[in-house]
Amino acid sequence: MDKTTARAFAAAALALLPLTTATPAQAAETLSLHAGIEALPQAAEVRDGYERTKFKHWIDEDKDGCHTRAEVLLAEAVTEPTVGAGCKITGGTWRSYYDETTVAGPSGLDIDHMVPLAEAWDSGASQWTAARRQAYANDLGAERSLVAVTAKTNRSKADQDPAEWMPPAATARCTYLADWVGTKLRWALTVDRRERDTLRQLAAGCESTDVEYEQA
């Protein structure tokens, strides 16, 4: 092989290298709610060492001037709000699906971690790095990891799992179960025995509900 041909082969090999070494994107998974519940690993919950400050939030990950809370509000607004200097949000309306309530203006809303930070800690996040806990607390990569809901329902829920709390609106319950299970699957979090038993019982009324998630 002459030098010109060798250089041509080398150039071709380099051109193909990014295609052969690129990491493929995680594919979305769709399971029935029942299958999703059974796919969750089971383990006892451990609260030891939990502090809310171990999950850093809210952050401005993309450096556009709007932190995570504001990003969720903007994404979920039913009527578009006004965004002022420093990403200050005024006006707008939102629909809190936990209690089927329309909220005018952002002040009456909380951003709920679908699986609360303390529950995530109990279910495996205690073993994570600080960076992964930060990613969890600011997860904008899944539609239901963070949801804008009335402050009243968010504070009523606190850090409880579905064995202890469910949304007051009956119309929200199958969606809530799918969002809960999908979030735990996304982040490879566990369930304890009582939680799994309750999820199974509640899912009996949600035969047509699916769980969609991507691994984080």
Distance CA 216, CA 214 (A): 6
Per-residue pLDDT at 58 exceeds 80: yes
Residue 4 lies in a domain: no
In percent, the amount of the chain with pLDDT more than 70 equals: 88
Which of 6-10, 54-58, 127-131 is the least confident region?
6-10
pLDDT of 27: 81
Number of C-alpha atoms within 13 angstroms, CB side, residue 63? 0
* 100 part of a folded domain: yes
Sign of CA dihedral 59, 61, 63, 67: negative
- Asked if residue 50 has pLDDT above 60, the reply is yes
Q: Is 56 a residue whose pLDDT tops 80?
A: yes
Does residue 4 have a pLDDT over 50? no
Summarised one tens digit per residue, pLDDT across range 8-29 is 444 444 344 344 344 445 689 9
User: Residue 119: its pLDDT value, please?
Assistant: 98
Spatial neighbors of 34 by CB under 8 A, at least 6 apart, are: 200, 203
Report the pLDDT value the prediction gives residue 6, as an integer from 0 to 100: 42
Residue 95 lies in a domain: yes
Domain presence at residue 7: no
In a domain, 203, yes or no: yes
Domain count, the chain: 1
User: Quick check: is 17 in a domain?
Assistant: no
Residue 13 lies in a domain: no
- What domain range includes position 191? 25-213
- The answer to whether residue 199 is domain-embedded is yes
